[in-house]
Structure 1
């Protein structure tokens, strides 16, 4: 049977000859042939120990498939208890026994005394690991107290790292002030603000860093502004100069972007929005996320008028954006709702179509569940990486700044993966609810106005509304010239619309043309905004 010897001394004055001779005799006594010997020496003057002999031994025993290593005493395996335990653990995982002469230990032995010593070693190693973590966190606290930027390359939107210090990013700070003004003074919703930022090309922090090739984003994401990202940004206390790290909170006026009164007003409004969200409208927007402007392709949103419901309109979102080229007109909410109702009320939900969509949704849920399982595996790997990283730092193989940066990246990856799990689980919850709704719609009767309002959104794939200009009208009249069904404007204020409704089954399409003056639909579908 083959074996190797590993010897390590702590000072230049010590000699490894005696260790080597006694280990060679022990190996021979136990029936092993020593194929090679490896040794390391260190002065103890530096924490960054380079164990070239140990590294050579690892390569040798791997290449020669050697399963027995002789060592003089436990302390010779590493500089610290955590490093020693790491070596023993990795060797045990590879089914390699370490025979330690002085303590009379064989690491693969099931002897109770051996197991007791190894368990004690593991406890001490864990204690050292926690101690080094506490020291690292303490160092980060001290850095932040002195204005340091902290670990990691990605800072909060509105701030950047300059010469190791956290400072305000003037360009992003102006964006934040504009967001706050739109939310607080112009009464924009966070959804409208997110859409506005995306349409006008204002990049998120991640998008900036990726475009500059500073980071490689590993988690799939469109990297756009969302309602959630705007809401989270408006909640950040750092905007008022309050910096928080763990349980420590520090005040730094040099980091202030918003005054306290503005920040508090935003928090109060967001809290009130959450409380009154369910009561903001008597009915929800029945065409939410399915109604689009055919002139430019943007979504159409509900816009409350100043007095009666006659002034409540669906409006193209592009019309909210400055320098918009969209020429679409607003349309009265009740007029469009009743136009759609008039066209689709005879629609019959076919069981086959429902079953097909349910099958697609169930397939998507299964895909999401598989993705969640894969992400959980990644989280386990990240946990192991963090343990190995701590071990490397304690062993003196990496510097503190490298340790902090890698640890920060692992923690950020951990958070990103956790977010993906939450996102996938939330999506699965919505898909499951949609499946339940679809199963209840097999016998739905859209002729009933209340049932129509409750169910139409899930039955429609997409609604496109086009404001017809003079060219559109003339083309329509030219095509229908032989049928005598021409469009003619009664007056300059009359607007004609082309309505295209695509149902969820992807086979049923409804087309209708109507105007704001000459079409009188039954006024059955009404939405009163409070």
Structure 2
């Protein structure tokens, strides 16, 4: 009686395999292997192991590890694959399993399509065909890796989203799922988070508020909606609650302003999957890539909030009104809020913690006095800026700024069309080579010309984008700063958000005559616009 081999069918597909659907691809492999076993009476199928979406360049795969455990437990003594590439595409390790590991445990290996069956091989290490196949599989993986990297780089350069999981607040859309659109529900949570921060809440308090409201955390929300979830980092934590870390990560993410930042990491080569971080000047950054959830104005305001002292006092939900803003005119230190109880009442003061011992002669000053003084000054300054903005509309200065930025956008779109045209020519050029309409020499000549032209155009596009962004900041944004002040034109009570948005610092001087110096944000822009208006008025007067 002939020996009966206890076999495991091993199947693998990777993300780079061309397939119409994962179930059909795995199904085809299974059917192919089952038909083979049906024709071989000395083989009995004991189990199946499936690695779905896993590269063949590494052997640390979930199903393959299970296969090896079955071998060590002597549950199976035969492994059957459709072809050698299903076992692996890495030359060295594939050879080691064929020539060392499987023989050591008495395992028969069969790659049906390649005609490999170790029961018929007396000395596999000398089999030239197997060596060539493993080399070709390795070379194939290297080629696929290069093509994949090139395709991803091209898509990133065109502003297409190539990630598997959009950030919380966005969904993938478009024919190829390469565009981001706001998630109707999650985007509103993002807006709430930024609003809470502008109102003075700490990150921990925002997280607590969302948890108390029963709002699902980003990971829990995606799992609940059946959306793809990222692997690694914070996403793999067991907790599904909002945390201060998650809030801070969201508040710092420029994606919500319509900016797409990709290509932040890469691998050392096609065999090593460990990630390394790339310098920011090598990232693929696209502005206005998708619909924004948070305006640039609000985003910048929140960054300012996060850069100053935002410590909260015990049992309080928000930061103090002037935290990080008040400066001692004597020593330059930050002033601190102090509560002084007196006859069942509480009085609030600001003082300099440097103290007389360290040479500071600053005195305590009532919080109410500071509030009244600053509120009066701010209302006057806001009214002046609002009047200034109205004058800008009349003089048409805003329209001029928009015309400048629109000119660059038109040029960028024109270069994009040229890039697309050259790219199409390159594709047709290759088709002509394959169809033998062009010789290899002619193909190389034309390809070199097209590559040179593409290089020139892409550099030109990068330069135009840089100029556009600069002009946008120097022209459009220099006028848009007035919106910060217009937002508070109806302010009745001084708020933390108004203080942070409009004030750079408030310096308290404690000489013979106490004084307060208020430095507003955008003072240089204010002065420059005043000069521009005066020049325009003088020209019109002439």
TM-score by length of 2: 0.35
TM-score by length of 1: 0.35
